[in-house]
């Protein structure tokens, strides 16, 4: 799925089960695991590693990083638009 215009184009690749790689800004590749952290997901990006992960450890309710949200959005979109 490619989004144009103001959106950053990110490429998703399915690895296995609930694991995906996502090519984000500057061509950096992050690993997203949707099953980690009790279903909240995990990502290897700095935002998740240094910010969100610690909040999940403390049991705080914060939204995941944009990569996790992007993968989830992609999956939902595919579900709604499958032929
Ligand atoms: Zn991320």
pTM of the model: 0.84
How far away, in angstroms, is 83 Cα from ligand 1 center? 30
How far away, in angstroms, is 24 Cα from ligand 1 center? 9
pLDDT per residue as tens digits for the range 18-67: 999 999 878 899 999 999 999 999 999 999 999 999 999 999 999 999 99
CB 41 within 8 A of CB 68: yes
Nearest one of 64, 66, 45 to 3, comparing CA atoms: 66
Higher pLDDT, 6 or 44: 44
Range of the domain at 61: 11-80
Task: Say if 48 falls within a structural domain.
Answer: yes
Residue 32 φ/ψ, nearest 5 degrees:
-110, 125
Task: Say if 56 falls within a structural domain.
Answer: yes
Q: What is the pLDDT of residue 10?
A: 87
How far away, in angstroms, is 8 Cα from ligand 1 center? 13
Higher pLDDT, 83 or 16: 16
Task: Say if 73 falls within a structural domain.
Answer: yes
Q: What is the pLDDT of residue 58?
A: 95
Residue identified by tokens 């296995």 is 16
How far away, in angstroms, is 12 Cα from ligand 1 center? 12
């Amino acid at each position: 799925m490619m989004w144009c215009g103001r959106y950053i184009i990110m490429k998703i690749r399915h690895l296995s089960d609930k694991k995906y790689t996502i090519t984000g800004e500057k061509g950096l590749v992050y690993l997203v695991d949707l099953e980690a952290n009790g279903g909240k997901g995990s990502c290897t990006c700095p935002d998740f590693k240094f910010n969100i992960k610690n909040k999940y450890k403390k049991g705080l309710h914060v939204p995941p990083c944009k990569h996790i949200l992007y993968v989830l959005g992609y999956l939902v979109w595919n579900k709604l638009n499958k032929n």
